[in-house]
Every structure is written in C-alpha cells, then in structure tokens.
Amino acid sequence: MSANAHAADLDALLAGLNEPQREAVVHGDGPLLILAGAGSGKTRVLTHRIAYLVGTGQARPDEILAITFTNKAAQEMRERVELLVGRRTRAMWVMTFHAACARILRADAHRLGYTRQFTIYDQADARRLVKRAIDELDVDPKRFTPGAIHHEISDAKNKLRDAEAYAQMVGSFFEQTVADVYKLYEAELHRMNAMDFDDLLVRTVNVLELFPEVRRRYAEAFRHVLVDEYQDTNHVQYRLLQLLTGGGADGRLADYGHRNLVVVGDDSQSIYGFRGADIRNILDFEDSYPDATVVKLEQNYRSTQTVLDAANAVIRNNRGQREKELWTDLGVGDPIKVRELDDEHAEARYVAGEIERLVDEGVSRSEIAVFYRTNAQSRVLEDTLVRAQIGYQVIGGTKFYERAEIKDAIAYLTMLVNPQDVVSFTRIANSPRRGIGQTSLSRVISWANTAGITIWDAALDPDSVPGLGTAARKAFHRFMGAMRILGERAAANPPVGELLREVLAESGYLEALEAERTIEAQGRIENLEELVNVAAEYDLSAENSDEGPSLAGFLQQIALVADADGRRDDEGLVTLMTLHNAKGLEYPIVFMIGLEEGVFPHQRAIEEGGLEEERRLAYVGITRAQRDLYLTYARARAVFGARSYAARSRFVDEVPMGLTDRSEQPAHGVGSVRARATTWGSPSPNLSPLGSGPIPGGGWDASGGSAGGGTELRLGDDVFHAAFGDGVVTGVEAGGIVVIRFSRDGSERKLVADLAPIEKR
C-alpha cells in the first residue's frame, strides 16, 4: 500500500467525526477516558481509533486488546473494525473480559493447579455447588438460601477478597456462614478443576500477580488496551486492566508499563451495580490515572431533542454523576406520550392499540419496542398481543444454553474432558433415568472423596464402593460402560458435532426423549439438534484457527455465550424486553410500561437505597427512543394474585410537563401532580378496537398539592432535617409529600413537606 493510500485512509477515518470524537480517535499514548453519552457514537470512536492506531503504525494488530462485556458487542466491534482495516483484525484480541481471561487461563492456569481443560460453571452450576457446600456444613437452608450466599461470595470475589480475607472480616452470623461456605466452595471448585464466572477474572488476576514473567508477557503483548462499557466494570476488572497495562503486583508501574488504556463509558448508564459493577471506576478514573485525558461525547445522533431533554431532566435528579448534557441537531420531535390506564390489562390493550395504529400509518413492527422492569410483566402483554395478532418476540427469559436438555448434553461432553467434574457428573448420572438415585450417587461421590480418586474412576469401579446395592452397581456398570466408549471416541479427537451425536445416542438420552412422545420432548429433541448444529459450526470455524477444533475448545467457547437465539431485526416483530436488556439498542418507537412506584422503581430498590440505579435504568430506557416515546402506568395491577394500587412512578414526574402531551399544571403547587381528565393533552380518538377506550376517566384522583403556604421544595433542593441531618430532595409527590435522601445514612424517606422539620438550605 502506498503512502498516499495510507494518508487517504487516515483522512477517511477521521472524516465525518465531530471534534471530541476526533480527539479521542487521534489521542496518543497514555490513559484516556471517553465519557460517551447515549447514542453519541462510541462504537464508532472505538473502532476508528483501533483502525487509526493500526493505520498510523502506532500499533500492530496483535498489540491491540479490545474488551467488551457481551459477545454481541465484541462481534459487532470486530466486524466494524474489519470493515476499516480488513483481515488484519484477525490478529487482534476483540472479545469479552471473560473470553480474554479464559484464553489467558488456558495457557497459564496450570500454574495455579488447574488443567487447561478446566470446566467453567455458570450461575446455576455454581449455585448447585454452593448448595452442596451448605448441606455439607449443615447450614439452615431456611435462613440462608444458596442464592443469597452465592451472591455474597460472588460479591467478595468481585472485590478480590478470597475466602481467607473474607473470614477475617466477618461481622455477623450470616457473614460467618458465608465465610464457611466460601471456603468449602472454593476448595470444591478447585478439586473439580472448575471455575465459576468470577473465577475467570480472579484467577487471571492471581496468575498475573503471582508470576512476574506472565505479567510482563501480557503487558508487553498488548500495547493498547481499550474497554467498552467501562461503567460496568467491577474491582477485579479494574485490577486486571491495571496489570495488563503495566501495573506491578505492588501497584506501581513496571518498567515495561505503558498505561495505554482507553476506556469508554457512561456513568449514567451504570445499571449493574447489583452484580458488583462499581460505578466509582468511571467516576474516579482520574484519581487512578491523574494524567488521564478526558473527552466528552455529548452530541447524540439517535434521538429527538425532546427525548434527550427528558433523559437529561430525569438523570439530573441523581447526585454524583458526571456532568453531561445530551444534545442533537435532529430536531425537537414530538412530545412524549404519557398515559394512565386502569390496570395492566388496559395498559396492554393501549399498547396493542397504539401499535396497530402505528402499523396502519406505515411503521414496521420491528421498529417498535416495549420495555418493562421485570420479566413477569411480559405475560399480560403477550396475551394481549397474541389476541390482537401482533407478531412479537421476547428477548431474554430462558436462554438456549440454560435449557435442561442442553445443559445435560454439555455435561456429558464435559465429563469426557474433565473427569473430576462432580457437578456435571451429578447432572447426568441419572439423566436419562437409569436407576441411579440420590443415595447411590452420594455413596459414590463420598467414596471418590475418601479414596482420593476422580468421580469418573470411582463410578468406573462401583464394586469397590462401600454400601452400594446390587441394582445400583449394575446401573453404574451400564452407565460407565457407555461413558467409557464415549471417552475412547473423544480421545481420538473427532469432530465435536459427530461426538455429540454419539453421546446422545450412546447415553440413551435421545431414546428416552423419543419414548416420551410429547410435544415438549419433541421440542427438546429439536433443541439438541440445534446444539449439534452449533457444534458442527464450531468444527468448521475452528478449523482454521490457531489451535484447531477440540472438545475442550468447544466447551469453553459455549460456556461464555449466553444465547444462541439472538434477536432478529427484520422479521416484522415487535420486540419485548426488560429495561436491562435494552441497553445498547435503539428503536424508533419505544414504550416503557409499568411506570409505577414499587414496580419501577422496584420496591426493593426503594427499600434498599437503589434509587439512583433505577433512575439510570429509566435513563437507559428513555434514551433508546429515536422518535416516539410512550410512558404508561396503571392505577391498579395484580401483584402475586392480589390487586394492588400504586402511585405513578416518580420518574414520570421527573420528565418536565412541557416535554409531554400532558398539559401544564394549573398553578404551581396547587392542584394535583397527578393526572386528571383535563390534564391529558391531544385527545387521541383514533384508538383501535383494542384500545382502552377514551383514556383516563377523571375524578378518582383526590390528592391535593402541598396545602398552600409552607416551604416550597423542588427536586434537587438541599435541605436540613432536624433529626436526619442534611439531605437532598429526590422526589416531589402528590399530597405535599417530598422524598428526601439523607446523606448521613443514604436512606430515602418520604416526608410531608409542611409538617416535617425541614428547612431549605
């Protein structure tokens, strides 16, 4: 390629970028934080920067490590980089945190006592193992659920606290219990040559910290590290990035350190705190990297100004956010439609009716998305859409790889490479039913433990297992006979697709399903066929990779993939999903439903001080809308079978009236914040047969505004309370009620403005 062509390429890379985008792309060495608002073109910036680094010769392709959180994002980034630099992309590491760690560990985990065939346990496997530890320790499972304990362990791991460190700082009975379980759980995992998702990160950090030569190798290999969705990183990931960019075990910069770390994120879209993400990583980036360059991307290329104003207004109610104001030159757009409905059925009918109207106007169903807070909310909506014959797809829910039959098949394959994997063994021993019950299984497992042999070897020789009945012994002989044949086959390294076929046949799994003769079983068989296809595809694609196809490689790959059935864009289907699943997506028309206190924000978030994260979730939802945004809520809703009533979500009220089709409040502080018939703007008479009929009847609303006089508190006001101290107004509700969050303990309280001992500061 000539020098001219190069220059032309570089020009093309920068063309069409706005000023801050360009600054981020051409940034030289050293840490860079890109604060990228929703829809501000961050992927464009990342991909163009990678291309620019390669194009200018600042980096070779194999010196680039680009990290994302999802496989989908990684794939998209890889594709887009490939469009810019072509085949050279292949040498780059463009993958998820977990995939990158798994790759490092396959090469170096032996230093920690694992084989390269280690098993990766997903959440469910991990929880099962936690449960076994709980049973083992005779912990009362009533008081402490496996889920809660696992969550706590996961939390500790995310903070790089190992079992020992955790035990050092227990302060309650619960924590003592967790400490005990944690210790046993870790021992078991290691003994089984297995890692959970958290381990992939933690063990990588361990390897890098313990072995300077490994640390140096990777830090020298990756001269440029780029991270997407940085606001969702946790502490392990923070540490990992430090080590990969040349931080030493002591935290100081090594001589080979380069600190070429580019992170992209938006603190306003941090919605995974409940999973250990630490928003401080992005908020305090400059504390960790004082010489960091910071670039803000605030121009939005996705939404109307009305939508952006709404998002800006809502997020402004959070404290401690990075200052940021989204803007666009796409125009003002239409007002946000706010609708109050009688109950969730009326809400669903309204959404369905509106969709029909839009489709009549020429909108494609695939341009429409409906977001809700919890999965349970999709049910009513689905019923209604089915009746209205509106095609839809639900994103999320049970994932392909979480289906029982798929996990069973994978467990069979896993046993063939990791004979120590008791969790997988437990899963398949009696699936299909072959007369191996809980008791016999436990006997074999504990025999393996006492004899110090693998579970595979213990089962292979059931006659040596003490206390095992004749029938059980026979069952194990038959089962392991099949496994042995499969093991020999696997040793010959056949195509994974073929091996899987044999597993399904030899194990009797397929036969058992066929014998069921139910529609459900038929569906499972089809899923298994799909898995065989996935394996065959792997065989093909791994053919020309550096390692070549292998069973272990296949297992590792699919362990890190969430679902095989991704969403389809061009099918003319309305898309339904939780707000969490909506991040990173965009739709011309967006419905956010169930905007009620207790639903969204979720009750538990209200109780446990998680309001800011809920608000960020609202921000994410709003900023998905390109053109039209609907906010709906129901006066009543069935919760756990019982009918319950809730106030409209504070998030609705945080959207300025003027941006919505509600009319202005009659007078400041007088009358109701709550809607009444007259407050609904633009009458929409064009409701379809499925519509809810004329929108809300008035009259039910009895609340009055703050009863005149008194202190006028507004959102964001700093206040002082005689008993609770300093706080900030985070909500203003009907009836003169204000929501105040107190800085002393972070608690959020609802107070009557006129009665509570509050003064404005």
Question: Which residues does the annotation mark as catalytic?
Answer: 42-43, 228-229, 269, 624
Among 319, 433, 484, 568, contact with DNA (rule: CB under 7 A) = 433
| Under rule CB under 7 A, residue 359 binds DNA | no
Candidate ranges 31-39, 168-176, 606-614, 695-703; the one touching DNA (CB under 7 A): 606-614
Span from 111-119, 176-184, 435-443, 493-501 in contact with DNA (CB under 7 A): 435-443
Q: In this structure, what token pair is assigned to residue 332? A: 């003002």
Q: Let me know: does 637 contact 646? Beta carbons within 8 Å.
A: yes
- Stretch binding DNA (CB under 7 A), from 208-216, 290-298, 436-444, 452-460: 436-444
Residue 563 contacts residue 400 (beta carbons within 8 Å) = yes
Rounded to a whole number of angstroms, the minimum distance from the CB of residue 636 to DNA is 14
Residue 707, marked binder: no
Gap between the Cα atoms of 608 and 594, Å rounded: 20
In the complex, least distance from residue 2 CB atom to DNA, rounded to whole angstroms? 41
Query: Which of 83, 165, 187, 376 forms a contact with DNA (CB under 7 A)?
Result: 376
**C-beta closer to DNA: residue 121 or 680:** 121
Give min distance, CB of 614 to DNA, in A.
Answer: 7
Of the candidates 85, 368, 370, 472, which one interacts with DNA according to CB under 7 A? 472
Q: Is 43 annotated as a binding residue?
A: yes
70 forms part of the interface with DNA (CB under 7 A) = yes
Which of 171, 213, 291, 640: binder of DNA (CB under 7 A)?
640
Which of 604, 744, 760, 761 lies at the binding interface for DNA (CB under 7 A)?
604
Under rule CB under 7 A, residue 232 binds DNA: yes
Region of 367 please: left (phi>0), alpha (psi -120 to 50) or beta.
alpha
Reply yes or no: is the peptide bond before residue 601 cis, omega within 30 of 0.
yes
Detail the DSSP E strand segments found in 7-63: 32-36
Q: Is 638 near DNA (CB under 7 A)? A: yes
Q: CB of 17 within 8 A of CB of 48? A: yes
Q: Is 473 exposed, middle or buried (0-12, 13-18, 19+ CB in 10 A)?
A: middle
Cα separation of the two ends of the chain: 66
Angle at 497 between CA 496 and CA 501, to 5 degrees: 115
* Helix/strand/coil percent split, the chain, to 5: 50, 15, 35
Residue 142 CB: number of other CB atoms within 10 A?
6
Decide if residue 608 touches DNA (CB under 7 A). Answer: yes
Task: Report if residue 96 touches DNA, rule: CB under 7 A.
Answer: yes
Q: For DNA, which residue of 364, 375, 663, 672 counts as binding (CB under 7 A)?
A: 375
Q: Which of 157, 373, 635, 637 binds DNA (CB under 7 A)?
A: 373
384 is in an annotated binding site: no
Is the backbone of residue 227 left (phi > 0), alpha (psi -120 to 50) or beta? Answer: beta
Q: How far apart are CA 600 and CA 593, in angstroms?
A: 9
Instruction: Give the whole-angstrom CA distance, residue 162 versus residue 179.
Output: 10
**From the CB of 154, what's the least distance to DNA, in Å?**
9
| Bridge partner list, 643 | 638
553 is in an annotated binding site: no
Task: Determine, following the binding rule CB under 7 A, whether residue 438 of this chain makes contact with DNA.
Answer: yes
CA 148 – CA 150 distance, rounded (Å): 5
- The verdict on 104 binding DNA (CB under 7 A) reads no
197 forms part of the interface with DNA (CB under 7 A): yes
Burial class (CB in 10 A: 0-12, 13-18, 19+), 470: exposed
**Taking Cα atoms as reference points, which of 216, 218, 215 lies closest to residue 206?**
215
- Least distance (Å) between residue 612 CB and DNA: 11
69 binds DNA per the rule CB under 7 A = yes
39 is in an annotated binding site: yes
Nearest Cα neighbor of 628 from 393, 443, 438, 370 is: 370
Instruction: State which of residues 267, 340, 344, 614 lies at the interface with DNA (CB under 7 A).
Output: 614
Say whether residue 610 binds DNA (CB under 7 A): yes
Q: What is the C-alpha separation between 565 and 461, in angstroms, rounded?
A: 41
Smallest distance from the beta carbon of 642 to DNA, in angstroms?
Answer: 7
Is position 658 annotated in a ligand binding site? no
The verdict on 245 binding DNA (CB under 7 A) reads no
Asked if residue 249 belongs to a known ligand binding site, the reply is: no
Which residues in 115-144 contact DNA (CB under 7 A)? 122-123, 131, 141-142
List the one residue from 292, 525, 562, 564 that touches DNA (CB under 7 A). 562
Q: Is 697 in a helix, a strand, or coil?
A: coil
Q: What is the distance between the alpha carbons of residues 723 and 704, in angstroms, rounded to a whole number?
A: 27
The stretch near DNA (CB under 7 A) out of 24-32, 66-74, 363-371, 588-596 is 66-74
Find, among 734, 757, 755, 733, the residue nearest to 742 by Cα.
Answer: 757
To the question of whether residue 40 is assigned a binding role by annotation, the answer is: yes
Is residue 580 within the footprint of DNA (CB under 7 A)? yes
Which positions make up the binding site for ATP? 36-43
Which positions make up the binding site? 36-43
Q: Which residues would be at the binding site for DNA (CB under 7 A)?
A: 69-72, 96, 98-99, 122-123, 131, 141-142, 197, 229, 232, 272, 274-275, 277, 373-376, 396, 399, 430, 433-440, 472, 560-563, 578, 580-581, 583, 602, 604-605, 608, 610, 614, 638, 640-641
